[in-house]
Structure 1
Amino acid sequence: MEYEALRKIANDIRINIIKMVSNAKSGHPGGSLGAADIVTFLYFNVMDITKENAGTNDRDRFVLSKGHASPLLYAVLAEKGIIPKEELLTFRLLHTRLQGHPDMNELDGIDMTTGSLGQGLSAAVGMCLANKLDKNDHRVYCLIGDGESEEGQIWEAAMAAAHYKCDNLCAIIDNNGLQIDGKIEDVIGPAPFDEKFRAFGWHTINVDGHDFAQLEKAFAEAKTIKGKPTCIIAKTVKGKGVSYMENVADWHGKAPNAELTATALKDLEGE
């Protein structure tokens, strides 16, 4: 798909993220908006997931390790036609399938139940090993938060992935520099990610997470790497596209009121 069409889809996804979180009066808009370009590119230009194969093993898989960014995942699944767009406004409501964190038992196309931070990469490693045992050539992609990488389980999984030569695994770090309580460097500071993942035996690539050309090159390169997993460190802007949310940690996990929702939609619909 051409970049201009991808930009339109990513913007529509951002609009739906704002509508979902605003309607629910809760959710995590900042990281969802910031990673929208990455996940849009994955679902429309890299992974082979469709409405028809979403409930099968015969496709690439995506693990949203930072499960609080569920509005992004649901909005992407709607754009792919896997769930109805009208269902998006049931996000976080009573009895909805669209829980605050993804539940693989609720929807086809959700490959792992996540939300407890640090666990997604371990699941992705298991999927990669299963694919190898089954002689299944499909790949597994795992989106990890930079703040989430303060969890020790991430590094245990990273060590295992390299040990088992999971070259069918591509992790992506959503490197926006912020977490719920401020700048990552002021909390623990797991960066530099490239040096650390290389030390664990991974191939690493640094990109601008909003540049489709760089993302295209990085994902293509990842497919050529043999004998080790790949980590793409994607520099992103938390709250991307909404003027008052960009690079503001306070918008990690709260919903805008009616006035701020209108401003956000004006920012996005004006593009």
Structure 2
Amino acid sequence: MTTTTTSTATAGTGAAERRRLVEDFAYRMRHHALNMGEVQGQGYVGQALGSADMFAAVYADQLVYRPEDPDWDGRDRFLLSTGHYAIGHYAALAQAGIVPIEELETYGSDDSRLPMSGMSTYTPGMEISGGSLGHGLPIAIGTALGLRHQGSPSRVINFMSDGELDEGSTWEAAMGAHHHGLGNLTVLVDINALQADGKTDTVMRTEPVADKWAASGWHVQRVDGNDVGQLLAAFDAVAQDAGPDARPSVILCDTRVGCGVPLLEEREKAHFMRIEEHEWKTCREQLTAGHEGATK
């Protein structure tokens, strides 16, 4: 029997139950990310933890897909522009049933289907090979145009980082999406205020970023990206804005690197983390304690 997870997967549940389902998905994702990080002892663990609520809102509540058939034509497309966030995406793919959870143990290893930077040729459910920042949104526009040309109701969700807002190609693409009236395109921007060379506002100041997207003709919302309730409300507002003359939508998500694990939230060098062997147990204990405390 073929199963399809749809954007109405949580339909019929109350708001509190819907939120709980997504929060539980994100909690399990964070554990997966820690397990993968421990395989290498380092990596982009902070981004995976910080963006987990965003991925969970997509995979547990929004995306239309078939876990057993990642290439199903009727699926929504989720494009990971930030290839180094692959560890977070793998956690979502595993929790969604697209990648076996036990395969996460191979993360970053030779001959693994889960390389440290996302590659579509290796990983089921990985739509594009990311990493060269600024390419994701142009590809998303081509994908959205192609789906519309085919008469498909499928949507495109493009995940990108605030560091990508430094790239001129991002803003050319943003104008193009509005020009073509791509109401089937939603962009999620992880605004964690950090990139490889330092704090985002010192590398390239992009604020007022919401005004810039609005000036490009987009439906713009800005939320706490670590608050599932705000994320779900934002997606609901995107749906309400849909229609034949809909605009492309962007949800700007302010997040905390390492969210859910206080030990890692406090790290000064957090873009690519080195985590000592004795610290992994503490990370898991803090994650569990925080989740259990929030659900009481």
TM-score by length of 2: 0.87
Match of 1:147, SS?
helix
Match of 1:245, SS?
helix
The unaligned stretches of length 5 or more in structure 2 are 1-9, 11-17, 292-296
Of 207, 228, 245 in structure 1, the residue corresponding to residue 264 of structure 2 is 245
1:258 aligns with 2:271: no
**Per-residue CA shift, 1:232-251, capped at 9, x if unaligned?**
11111111011122164512
Aligned to 1:232: 251
Contact kept in structure 1, 2:214 and 2:220, CA below 8 Å: yes
Q: Distance in 1 between matches of 2:266 and 2:54?
A: 17
**Per-residue CA shift, 1:2-27, capped at 9, x if unaligned?**
22232222111111111111212342
Structure with more contact order per residue of length (Cα contacts < 8 Å, sep ≥ 6): 1
Q: Which shows bigger deviation, 77-86 or 209-218?
A: 209-218
Count of residues paired in the alignment: 271
| Displacement after TM superposition at 1:77 (Å) | 0.6
Contact kept in structure 1, 2:162 and 2:192, CA below 8 Å: yes
Of 109, 116, 122 in structure 1, the residue corresponding to residue 125 of structure 2 is 109
Of 71, 82, 95 in structure 2, the residue corresponding to residue 66 of structure 1 is 82
Q: Distance in 2 between matches of 1:249 and 1:170?
A: 32
1:176 aligns with 2:200: no
The unaligned stretches of length 5 or more in structure 1 are none
Contact kept in structure 1, 2:65 and 2:72, CA below 8 Å: no
State the one-letter code of the partner of 1:240: C
Matches within 5 A, 1:70-85: 70-85=86-101
Aligned to 1:142: 158
Q: Distance in 2 between matches of 1:209 and 1:38?
A: 6
1:10 aligns with 2:26: yes
Q: Distance in 2 between matches of 1:242 and 1:192?
A: 30
Match of 2:187, SS?
strand
Contact kept in structure 1, 2:21 and 2:60, CA below 8 Å: no
- If you compute each CA radius of gyration, which structure gives the higher value, 1 or 2? 2
**Per-residue CA shift, 1:186-238, capped at 9, x if unaligned?**
11121222100111111101111122222112112212333321111111111
Aligned to 1:151: 167
**Per-residue CA shift, 1:29-75, capped at 9, x if unaligned?**
11111110011011111111221341222111111111111111111
Of 150, 172, 176 in structure 2, the residue corresponding to residue 160 of structure 1 is 176
